[in-house]
Chains A and B, each alone.
Chain A
Amino acid sequence: DSGVTQTPKHLITATGQRVTLRCSPRSGDLSVYWYQQSLDQGLQFLIQYYNGEERAKGNILERFSAQQFPDLHSELNLSSLELGDSALYFCASSEETGSSYEQYFGPGTRLTVT
């Protein structure tokens, strides 16, 4: 158990819908990262937040957005869903934001778009 929690574990929804994935970082960690794991794209970095502010963006679609709340939990919002958005979405957290800080991964949310 990494200490990072994600809900829900599984999500099945239809194309065109909107979903919200939730992540609670390890106690004391200020930085949260979102990654997408799909069969065709592999594991890709989406976005990073640090202490409530966006810190870095990766290959995140405009239909996707995220935020980090004052209690440091984070939510990833996916809208106008397409079949290709079906993937495993991981959240990770680290104590700080420097490249030497280890990231701890949550169990992931498996999203299936039908």
Chain B
Amino acid sequence: AQSVSQHNHHVILSEAASLELGCNYSYGGTVNLFWYVQYPGQHLQLLLKYFSGDPLVKGIKGFEAEFIKSKFSFNLRKPSVQWSDTAEYFCAVTRLNAGNMLTFGGGTRLMVKP
């Protein structure tokens, strides 16, 4: 079965530190890749998405992600985090021509200390 793995369950950083959150998926076909963020008490918001083309994708709030097909990975990065980035981050996948249901990773809770 298709799965999405996020290896970092909890991450604690100080402000201005760099961030990289790992995401790997197991499906071998063509996939679309997403990162969502869930701020405390709020709904899921899309940070960025990859469908095709340039494997380095830039999203909102200074986030970016790189799709490495050979590694089945789509890691999220931000060069300098802020306290307001404290949230839970979810990697998700949809499969081409297999409907639009999102398969989510287990999430990574990020805490940024001021």
Q: How many CB-defined contacts (below 8 Å) exist between A and B?
A: 62
Contacts of B99 in A (CB 8 A): 48, 55-56, 97, 99
Contact A99 B107 (CB under 8 A): no
Contact A48 B101 (CB under 8 A): yes
Q: Given A35-B102, A42-B104: A99 and B44 within 8 A (CB)?
A: no
What count of chain A residues pass the 8 Å CB interface test? Answer: 28
What count of chain B residues pass the 8 Å CB interface test? Answer: 24
Q: How far is the CB of A95 from chain B (nearest CB, A)?
A: 10
Interface of B is mostly: loop
**Which of chain A's residues has its CB closest to B36's CB?**
A105
* Chain B proximity mask over A76-114: 1 for CB below 8 Å, otherwise 0: 000000000000001010100111111111111000000
Contact B100 A31 (CB under 8 A): yes
Contact B42 A107 (CB under 8 A): yes
Asked whether B17 is an interface residue with its Cβ less than 8 Å from the other chain, the reply is no
Contact B43 A45 (CB under 8 A): no
Q: How far is the CB of B13 from chain A (nearest CB, A)?
A: 23
User: How many angstroms from the CA of A103 to the CA of B99 in the assembled complex?
Assistant: 12
**Which of chain A's residues has its CB closest to B41's CB?**
A107
Contact B51 A100 (CB under 8 A): yes
**Which of chain B's residues has its CB closest to A99's CB?**
B94
Contact A33 B100 (CB under 8 A): yes
Asked whether B113 is an interface residue with its Cβ less than 8 Å from the other chain, the reply is no
Contacts of A55 in B (CB 8 A): 99
**Which of chain A's residues has its CB closest to B96's CB?**
A99
> Contact residues of A with B, CB < 8 Å?
2, 4, 31, 33, 35, 42-45, 48, 55-56, 58, 90, 92, 94, 97-108
